[in-house]
Amino acid sequence: MTVAEELQATIADLVDGRRGVLAADESAGTIAKRFQAVGVDSTEEHRRSYRSLLLGTEGLGQYISGVILFEETLAQRDNSGTPLPELAARAGMVPGIKVDKGKGPLPGAPGDMITYGLDGLAERLRGYKEQGARFAKWREVYPVSPVNPTPLGLTANAEMLARYAAVCQSCGVVPIVEPEVLMDGNQGIERSAQVNEQVWETVFHALHRHGVVLEYILLKPSMVTPGSECAKAPPQQVAEYTLRSLCRAVPAAVPSINFLSGGQGPEEATANLNALNQLWQAPWQLSFSYGRALQQPVLHCWAGDDSRATLAQAALRKRARLNHLAMLGEYSEGLESMEAGDLPGGDAGGAD
């Protein structure tokens, strides 16, 4: 199989108009904070047990096409000895891997950040592929202020994303390109739209310069929302501003836009995705790549108690199915009160 055929096969498995991506790639620091919130110590065994619970959820592959994993997870096994990437693949979910190495201040651009991890990336990707990973994810973050992101912040972050994506494609790995415009702050939705457009335009100029084939990437952007210190915008307004900005900045060649949830709650992220898919026919698949917005109910249900695994898995299945319905523009708030198995069509299918 050629590199192009390899990339196309992965895209075909990830993009089917009805499923999204589960982000289960929390760094050691992030998952420690999430566990602490539910009274669980972040030990290697607790992380293995929790991520085994996620990937072993029966029927999850009906609604989730891919799972982004943390490096540690690639080498872990479930209680029966099955490698966790293989567990995901058996359920019809493509295993992926977070490859960036965290972020820090960008010298020369006060207030802006830059992500690390390009050194040795090609070699690491070859090892990850041997462990089952077929796609990767790299995140750049953009704080918003009256002066941020600066011109240097825009170009430097775009350059990192483009270099990462080019290396991935050269290795036969599909890159998820994640430029996250942070929700922190008091910026209104107009300012948020302006920043997102600037970010996306700069990123795609860089991708073109580096010869990245757009048909073989996924874009994981923020939705256009007001800052967290402002009142929340209704889903219809979020959808209007987000799609307007995307149409101005993102080429139609990109096969799928898998939104991150950022600081949105589970119901909010689902309602906004539903509004996006109801507004008008976009040239891309409009999907999700949620972490906390899928996992938050699961963590609170599990809370380190493996006897509650079945209930926690039902919570994950429910959130995944609701976001599947949002991709079809068929979600409603009334579905939130239903148990996973009681949703229209049941877990066996229906709307699929």
Task: Tell me what the mean pLDDT of segment 170-187 comes to.
Answer: 97
The pLDDT score that the predictor gives to residue 280 is 82
Q: Which position has the token pair 């050691």?
A: 28
Distance CA 222, CA 325 (A): 20
Quick check: 349 pLDDT over 70?
Answer: no
Six-digit token string for 47:
């992380």
| Whether 85 contacts 41, CB under 8 Å | no
pLDDT one-digit tens code per residue, 110-135: 999 999 999 999 999 999 999 999 99
Task: Tell me what the mean pLDDT of segment 146-162 comes to.
Answer: 98
Q: Determine the 3-state secondary structure of 105 from DSSP.
A: strand
The pLDDT score that the predictor gives to residue 351 is 27
Quick check: 185 pLDDT over 80?
Answer: yes
pLDDT one-digit tens code per residue, 78-101: 999 999 999 999 999 999 999 999
Quick check: 348 pLDDT over 50?
Answer: no
Residue 344 Cα to chain centre, angstroms = 26
- CB atoms < 10 A from the CB of 173, how many? 27
The pLDDT score that the predictor gives to residue 339 is 54
Quick check: 340 pLDDT over 50?
Answer: no
Among 150, 237, 241, 156, CA closest to 191: 241
The pLDDT score that the predictor gives to residue 343 is 53
**pTM for this model (two decimals):** 0.94
Among 218, 209, 222, CA closest to 160: 209
Q: State which amino acid sits at residue 187.
A: Q
Percent of residues in the chain assigned helix, strand, coil, to nearest 5: 50, 15, 35
The pLDDT score that the predictor gives to residue 53 is 97
Quick check: 320 pLDDT over 70?
Answer: yes
Quick check: 65 pLDDT over 80?
Answer: yes
Quick check: 222 pLDDT over 60?
Answer: yes
Residues labelled catalytic:
178, 220
- CB atoms < 10 A from the CB of 110, how many? 12
Angle of helix 292-302 versus helix 44-55 axis, rounded to 10: 110
The pLDDT score that the predictor gives to residue 350 is 35
The pLDDT score that the predictor gives to residue 341 is 47
- Determine the straight-line distance between the first and last CA of the chain, rounded to whole angstroms: 30
- The values of phi and psi at residue 120, to 5°, are 70, 15
The neighbouring-strand residues paired with 174 are 135
Quick check: 342 pLDDT over 70?
Answer: no
Task: Tell me what the mean pLDDT of segment 224-253 comes to.
Answer: 97
Domains and CATH numbers, the chain: 3-342 (3.20.20.70)
Is there a cis peptide before residue 107, judged by omega within 30 degrees of 0? no
Quick check: 228 pLDDT over 60?
Answer: yes
Quick check: 347 pLDDT over 90?
Answer: no
Q: Which position has the token pair 């080429």?
A: 251
Averaged pLDDT of the chain: 95
- E strand or H helix that includes residue 348: none
Q: Which position has the token pair 């060649």?
A: 253
Distance CA 129, CA 134 (A): 6
Among 293, 286, 350, 281, CA closest to 320: 293
